[in-house]
Structure 1
């Protein structure tokens, strides 16, 4: 029986484009002033998070998945399917694209990557790259080789609270000055299309993957339009952002007290703003900004009290 939440310690990742917000806003201990990502709920070998409480304290999420599958309702699958990150883009991320599962397994030996972004914070005027203007694969490749970035790339202004669904095959980049929570498939395969000719501390440019990028990019670009909706539930507003075969993603805005009933074998929870508490049969657990946890299969209902903004997801 696992009737208490799995509270997880994030893994911090240094990036050429990272900054200090993950410390300044969320209080995480950073390895450097260029920390770009907190892998908050992760069983990926490149950064597995660790359980901080209960009978599995000290184990990685991957170990719990492998050895105690009942915690997750005996769900099938070799790997824990989801990965939740918080990204601090102090500078522009590279323009990139991810493969689908078939291409990812065939060429990289891991899942593809469909993902989505919730904008936690964004500087005035900041923007993302989301999609492209090429009409054929040949045109896409030629525009990349010719460096016609202004003509090729679609740019969109963003603000706090925006949500974007980014299926595999979508050319994309997070711009500088944006902090996001990303829900994605558990994959670390990224094909870099363009990196602004940046050099690292050793004076080297980062590798580009033009052939793979052309292979996997959806042409022409398709704008997905997830059907978002909001409902009241006690003192909470529950917004459904997206429901896909990879993940369902929700925002829970609690101002007071709200009761929840499980709709999936397990649920991933990330607190982005505010504080309060989670109440389950086993007891009460403090919720503060930057808390990440999984509600396991044995918890069928729970109560949240306080003033909180939470992103929740399930596979």
Structure 2
């Protein structure tokens, strides 16, 4: 299959905490899923959530299997996932376990992830981590519903980056618009969901406190937001957030007119703002394109704020 840059169609799933109108009006996401609070820009979980590539008439997971040279990865499945969230209510207090636990739970993988805050209200916040010193204290505070004592919250600086290792208690807050990168996996363990009733079932959503007790980081690592420096690189403002072989690579590329960026791996480019072209392929806010491995330098034109999501094999240092 001849390599070419292709557009990735977003995948939508309904969320109980919903969303406002921003993803539709600003990011051009049009779907029957309303209110829309989350969009999968890149996901390849066959039979569950799988982006389509309309010009190739296949799903992303099918392309990954049919054209391995487009990715050149050491993983059986596409290794990374990307989504944008704009919730109109707080997400559940949750965590993602490590690989070992995920294999025993559902045969899957852990889902370490990272967020970049795209926008937030002045009082915007996320729940992140906890104050318990040990397991007994964590269990006691949970059973007594001492959430104010247990749960830690962070203000959300626009442009801030935060790493979320496995076992980290977390929840995005109301109105906090985020770009998320993670491993291409889907296992969430919930500790607390505010006793909300799911309108589709008429009951509360399942929670897994015992599994959270077994997986939560104790004591917590107390990770903070980082405002990482940018550099001017061949006409582009580049911010390098993360680059870990076997996990993911995340870079932000901001273009005001035109610039060049060299990346030796496949990448997904998601436009957080603006519009323009990448190697002559048009892209605008909300859209994601896949650039296969070995396509050479990226020629970026226009007024574009792009997030580059990629992956390096474990032996690549």
Structure 2 match to 1:38: 39
Deviations 1:28-82 (A, max 9, x none): 11223222221111112321001133xxx11101001112111112x22211111
Question: In the aligned structure 1, how far is the partner of 2:32 from the partner of 2:143?
Answer: 36
Q: What is the rounded CA distance, in whole Å, between the counterparts of 2:310 and 2:2 in structure 1?
A: 18
CA distance in 1, matches of 2:271, 2:108: 29
CA–CA separation in structure 1 for the residues paired with 2:32 and 2:156: 29
Instruction: Name the CA distance, whole Å, in 1 between partners of 2:45 and 2:294.
Output: 24
TM-score by length of 1: 0.93
The yes-or-no answer on 1:69 pairing with 2:68 is: yes
Q: What is the correspondence of 1:216-231 to structure 2 with a 5 Å cutoff?
A: 216-224=215-223, 228-231=228-231
Conservation of the 8 A alpha-carbon contact between 1:12 and 1:31: no
Q: Which residue of 2 aligns with 1:298?
A: 294
Q: CA RMSD in A?
A: 1.6
- CA shift, 1:13, in A, is 1.2
* Structure 2, unaligned runs of 5 or more: 312-317
Are 1:255 and 1:306, in contact at CA under 8 Å, matched by a contact in 2?
A: yes
Q: Does the Cα contact within 8 Å between 2:161 and 2:227 map onto a contact in 1? A: no
Instruction: After TM superposition, give the deviation of residue 96 of structure 1 in Å.
Output: 0.2
SS in 1 for 2:45: coil
Task: Tell me, yes or no, if the aligned pair for 2:248 and 2:310 is still in contact at 8 Å.
Answer: yes
Once the two structures are superposed, the pairs formed by residues 245-260 of structure 1 within 5 Å of their partners are 245=245, 246-260=247-261
Q: Tell me which residue corresponds to 1:308.
A: 304
Would the aligned equivalents of 1:227 and 1:242 in 2 still touch at CA under 8 Å? Answer: no
Unaligned runs of 5+ in 1: none
TM superposition shift of 1:227: 9.2
Given that 1:236 and 1:253 are in contact with CA atoms closer than 8 Å, whether structure 2 keeps it comes out as: yes
Change (3 A) 1:78 1:3: closer
Cα shift at 1:256: 1.5
Q: Which runs of 4+ in 1 moved over 3 A?
A: 223-229
TM-score, normalization by structure 2? 0.92
Superposition map of 1:138-287 within 5 A = 138-201=136-199, 202-224=201-223, 228-245=228-245, 246-264=247-265, 266-279=266-279, 284-287=280-283
Q: CA deviation at 1:224?
A: 4.3
Conserved? CA contact 2:98–2:166, under 8 Å: yes
Equivalent position SS for 2:18: strand
Cα deviation 1:291-312 (Å, max 9, x = unaligned) = 1012101312121011111111
SS of 2:97's partner is coil
Helix, strand or coil: the match of 1:311?
A: strand
CA contact (8 A) 2:13 2:33 kept: no
Name the residue aligned to 1:50: 52
Aligned length: 306
